[in-house]
């Protein structure tokens, strides 16, 4: 027998009635009712109500209310000093307000003109004024025709070239040992080289005289051991003595840039060459020497300029028959009182030195030294 479809079973006692289709479910007892669509959610009990959109949030209880922000104009940027956030490029921060760059450049230019350019101009003017009076090229003609000038020029050039070559060879070898051969005191030796650069040239010559002079230590030991009247060391008064003194004094000027170049050399190249079976001479020739060429060129150019103008070493050695251009200037001005001739030799020496110094600057700029 089929049941009547209109009859429904009664709900079980203690259970909620079934929801009618199409109506939202009834809330669970003890929970807050769900908010209506489109309304902000209610805040929790005891908490501050949420601020309306676009409004300023209220301060927390017990806190100081924030002041209203007022627009403050930023300070104007000063393009000269960079104050106020303006760009302060190189040199802009040093420029004082209201001061012209010309005024700041005037004092050093004036000092340079008074203490250097004016005496040099006097030397150049005196070289065109012979003792007979007037202005002519006769002093230049007399000096260039003099055998003493040609001999002094040749002596100056070959001594400078030989000293530079000796400094390059000796400086390269010593820098190799200091940089790549570990031994106790290597850092102390490298620092002593920097101190050695400040020594005057006559001090080195004086030290050589104490060792190799006629009455020096070496000759004293020889005469004491053999009973001879004189020792065999008598070369300081020759051009070879001047050459030895210049090589001894100017070698650190080559070592300094070499040590700086060796410090930047990648040791991985040396290790790779050594692991491939290359011996030390080949590593030096193919790996180290190409990296050292710019430093060698810069140091050699500087030593060449210094050797051309060296006066104290030649004077203190007392070398007989060794007359360089600086010694010729000294002889003509002090001993012969030939001031036009001395000025001519000085002008020639200055021109050679300035030309070589320009070469040194070009080489140093390319080498980065």
- Spatial neighbors of 59 by CB under 8 A, at least 6 apart, are 65, 66
Q: Residue 202 and residue 214: Cα distance in Å, rounded?
A: 18
Average pLDDT, stretch 315-332?
A: 87
Any idea which residue has 């990296």 for tokens? 291
Distance CA 59, CA 68 (A): 13
Instruction: Note whether 41 and 35 are within 8 A (CB).
Output: yes
Winning range, highest mean pLDDT, from 12-21, 29-38, 171-180: 171-180
With cut-offs at 50, 70 and 90, classify the pLDDT of residue 155: very high
Q: Which of 162-171, 293-302, 332-341 has the largest mean confidence?
A: 162-171
pLDDT higher than 60, residue 6 = no
Which of these, 286, 314, 343, 278, lies nearest to 160 by C-alpha position?
Answer: 314
The 3 state secondary structure assigned to the chain is: CCCCCCCCCCCCCCCCCCCCCCCCCCCCCCCCCCCCCCCCCCCCCCCCCCCCCCCCCCCCCCCCCCCCCCCCCCCCCCCCCCCCCCCCCCCCCCCCCCCCHHHHHHHHHHHHHHHHHHHHHHHHHHHCCCCCCCCCCHHHHHHHCCHHHHHHHHHHHHHHHHHHHHHHHHHHHHHHHHHHCCCCCHHHHHHHHHHHCCCCHHHHHHHHHHHHCCCCHHHHHHHHHHCCCCCCCCCCCCHHHHHHHHHHHHHHHHHHHHHHHHHCCCHHHHHHHHHCCCCHHHHHHHHHHHHHHHHHHHHHHHHHHHHHCCCHHHHHHCCCCCCCHHHHHHHHHHHCCCHHHHHHHHHHHHHHHHHHHHHHHHHHHHHCC
pLDDT in tens, 18-37: 555 555 555 555 555 555 55
pLDDT surpasses 80 at 74 = no
**Is the model's pLDDT at 116 over the cut of 90?**
no
pLDDT at 179: 86
Contact call for residues 369 and 295 (beta carbons, < 8 A): yes
- Window from 63-77, 90-104, 207-221 with minimum mean pLDDT: 63-77
Output Rg (C-alpha) for the chain, integer angstroms: 45
Q: Chain-wide mean pLDDT for the chain?
A: 77
- The beta-carbon contacts of 47-55 under 8 Å, at least 24 apart in sequence, are none
Mean pLDDT of 340-349: 93
Report the Cα–Cα distance between both ends of the chain, in Å, rounded: 117
What phi, psi does 22 have (nearest 5°)? Answer: 95, -5
User: Does residue 233 have a pLDDT over 50?
Assistant: yes
Does 364 have pLDDT greater than 50? yes
Q: What are the chain's domains? A: 124-367 (1.10.3720.10)
Please choose, from the candidates 317, 298, 316, 315, the residue with its C-alpha nearest in 3D space to the C-alpha of residue 356.
298
Which pLDDT value is given to residue 252? Answer: 92
- What's the confidence (pLDDT) of residue 132? 80
Q: 25 vs 5, which has greater pLDDT?
A: 25
Residue 152 makes CB contacts below 8 A (sequence gap 6+) with: 323, 324, 325, 327, 328, 345
Q: What is the mean pLDDT of residues 177-190?
A: 83
Of the pLDDT bands very low, low, confident and very high (cuts 50, 70, 90), residue 347 is very high
Average pLDDT over residues 330-344: 90
């Amino acid at each position: 027998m089929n049941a009547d479809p209109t009859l429904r079973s009664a709900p079980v006692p203690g259970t909620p009635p079934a929801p009618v289709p199409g109506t939202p479910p009834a809330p669970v007892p003890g929970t807050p009712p769900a908010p209506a669509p489109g309304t902000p959610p209610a805040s929790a009990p005891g908490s501050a109500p949420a601020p309306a959109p676009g409004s300023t949030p209220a301060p927390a209880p017990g806190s100081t209310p924030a002041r209203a922000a007022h627009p403050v104009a930023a300070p104007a940027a000063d393009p000269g000093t960079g104050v106020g956030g303006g760009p302060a490029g190189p040199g802009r921060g040093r420029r004082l307000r209201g001061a012209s760059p010309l005024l700041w450049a005037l004092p050093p230019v004036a000092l340079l003109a008074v203490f250097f350019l004016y005496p040099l101009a006097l030397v150049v003017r005196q070289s065109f004024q012979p003792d007979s009076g007037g202005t002519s090229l006769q002093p230049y003609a007399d000096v260039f025709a003099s055998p003493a000038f040609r001999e002094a020029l040749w002596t100056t050039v070959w001594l400078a070239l030989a000293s530079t070559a000796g400094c390059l060879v000796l400086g390269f070898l010593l820098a190799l040992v200091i940089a790549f051969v570990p031994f106790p005191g290597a850092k102390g030796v490298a620092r002593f080289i920097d101190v050695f650069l400040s020594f005057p040239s006559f001090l080195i010559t004086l030290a050589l005289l104490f060792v190799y002079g006629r009455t020096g230590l070496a000759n004293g030991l020889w005469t004491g051991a053999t009973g001879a009247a004189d020792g065999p060391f008598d070369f300081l008064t020759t051009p070879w003595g001047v050459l030895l003194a210049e090589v001894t004094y100017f070698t650190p000027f080559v070592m300094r840039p070499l040590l700086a170049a060796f410090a930047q050399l990648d040791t991985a190249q040396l290790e790779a060459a050594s692991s491939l079976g290359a011996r030390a001479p080949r590593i030096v020739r193919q790996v180290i020497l190409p990296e050292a060429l710019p430093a060698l060129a810069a140091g050699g150019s500087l030593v060449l300029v210094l050797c051309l103008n060296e006066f104290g070493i030649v004077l203190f050695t007392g070398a007989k028959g060794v007359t360089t251009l600086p010694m010729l200037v000294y002889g003509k001005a002090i001993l012969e009182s030939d001031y036009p001739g001395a000025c001519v030799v000085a002008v020639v020496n200055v021109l050679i030195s300035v030309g070589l110094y320009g070469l040194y600057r070009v080489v140093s700029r390319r080498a980065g030294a």
